[in-house]
Amino acid sequence: MKIEGPWDTEQYSALARELLDLRMLWLPENSRSVPPPKAIWFRHDVEVSCLAAMEMADLEHALGIRASYFFCVESPFLKGQPEALDRAINHIAAMGHGCHPHPILERGEEIAMAQTKARDSADRFGLDDRIMTLHAPNHSDVAPLAQLDRCEIVYRMVIEESFAYHSDSMHRFRWGWPDAIDPRPMQLLTHPIWWSDGRKLGQCVEEAAGRGVSYGTLQQFLPKLLVS
Ligand SMILES: [Zn+2]
């Protein structure tokens, strides 16, 4: 199945159901967990919209999916809104999804710094930091990221290609459509914002502007996503 036309929650349901027909739902317990061959790990990075994340979590719950949500609490879209983050994290965790940190790693910053930031966001928002992923928009090389043991499940297996890894961006999958019959376990990274109401991204940009966050700042944070 390939998606034609605009992406939305219905299309996401169809894709998830297709994958679940052929694969076993899997959620890592910690960063060293080893997935069985026919596993499917649904994973999301939440950087733009708490609302889109909650909608995705509700949808997955209805489909019987437990997924991992990685929250970038320092994102310029989400920063300074602890109530909205708290509400989203509590709502999503209550359905049995994992809620983990997705700290920002700036250019030139020591990789170990990410662990400190993850700890900090875990303390503030009750996130489970046994597993984390990094938001590193300027890092072209993921090899150093895999050295952090809390990131191992994500990056080491991607580098070794022991996972079939698929990630979406701007309404497409960057390295091809998820292939249900690939014999390897699959890590499916999707960003809830791309599957939600198409107007939501524009609204989030506007709301950020209302809080004094410039478009340039947002662009720097998501360089592949927001073009001038
Ligand atoms: Zn990210």
Q: If you measure from the C-alpha of residue 134 to the centroid of ligand 1, how many angstroms do you get, rounded to a whole number?
A: 6
User: Taking all residues of the chain, what is their mean pLDDT, rounded to a whole number?
Assistant: 89
Q: If you measure from the C-alpha of residue 221 to the centroid of ligand 1, how many angstroms do you get, rounded to a whole number?
A: 9
Tell me what pLDDT residue 180 has: 74
Over 60: is that where the pLDDT of 166 sits?
Answer: yes
Q: If you measure from the C-alpha of residue 64 to the centroid of ligand 1, how many angstroms do you get, rounded to a whole number?
A: 25
Q: pLDDT, tens digit, for every residue of 109-160?
A: 888 888 899 999 999 999 999 999 999 877 767 777 777 888 888 888 888 8
Over 80: is that where the pLDDT of 183 sits?
Answer: yes
pLDDT band at 6 (very low <50, low <70, confident <90, very high): low
Rg over CA atoms, the chain: 17
Query: Which segments within the chain are labelled E, that is strand?
Result: 24-25, 39-46, 68-71, 98-101, 164-169, 172-173, 186-190
Over 60: is that where the pLDDT of 3 sits?
Answer: no
Tell me what pLDDT residue 228 has: 59
Q: If you measure from the C-alpha of residue 133 to the centroid of ligand 1, how many angstroms do you get, rounded to a whole number?
A: 8
pLDDT band at 46 (very low <50, low <70, confident <90, very high): very high
Give CA–CA dist 112/165, Å, rounded: 25
Over 60: is that where the pLDDT of 5 sits?
Answer: no
- Which residue, 101, 49, 85, is CA-closest to 208? 49
Q: pLDDT, tens digit, for every residue of 60-112?
A: 999 999 999 999 999 999 999 999 999 999 999 999 999 999 999 888 888 88
pLDDT band at 7 (very low <50, low <70, confident <90, very high): confident
Tell me what pLDDT residue 156 has: 82
Burial class of residue 220 in the structure, from the number of CB atoms within 10 Å of its CB (0-12 exposed, 13-18 middle, 19+ buried): middle
Beta carbons within 8 Å of 68's beta carbon, 6+ residues apart: 27, 28, 41, 42, 43, 44, 97, 98, 100, 131
Over 60: is that where the pLDDT of 219 sits?
Answer: yes
Tell me what pLDDT residue 212 has: 96
Tell me what pLDDT residue 192 has: 95
Q: If you measure from the C-alpha of residue 154 to the centroid of ligand 1, how many angstroms do you get, rounded to a whole number?
A: 13
Over 70: is that where the pLDDT of 175 sits?
Answer: yes
Burial class of residue 94 in the structure, from the number of CB atoms within 10 Å of its CB (0-12 exposed, 13-18 middle, 19+ buried): exposed
Q: What type of residue sits at position 210? A: G
Backbone dihedral region for residue 91 (phi beyond 0: left; psi -120 to 50: alpha; all else: beta): alpha
The Cβ of residue 48 has, within 10 Å, a number of other Cβ atoms equal to 28
Q: If you measure from the C-alpha of residue 46 to the centroid of ligand 1, how many angstroms do you get, rounded to a whole number?
A: 7
Integer CA distances (angstroms), 224 to 75, 84, 134, in order:
15, 26, 16
Task: Assess contact for 105 and 113: CB atoms under 8 A.
Answer: yes
Q: If you measure from the C-alpha of residue 102 to the centroid of ligand 1, how many angstroms do you get, rounded to a whole number?
A: 7
Tell me what pLDDT residue 132 has: 93
What the chain holds in terms of domains, given with CATH numbers, is 9-221 (3.20.20)
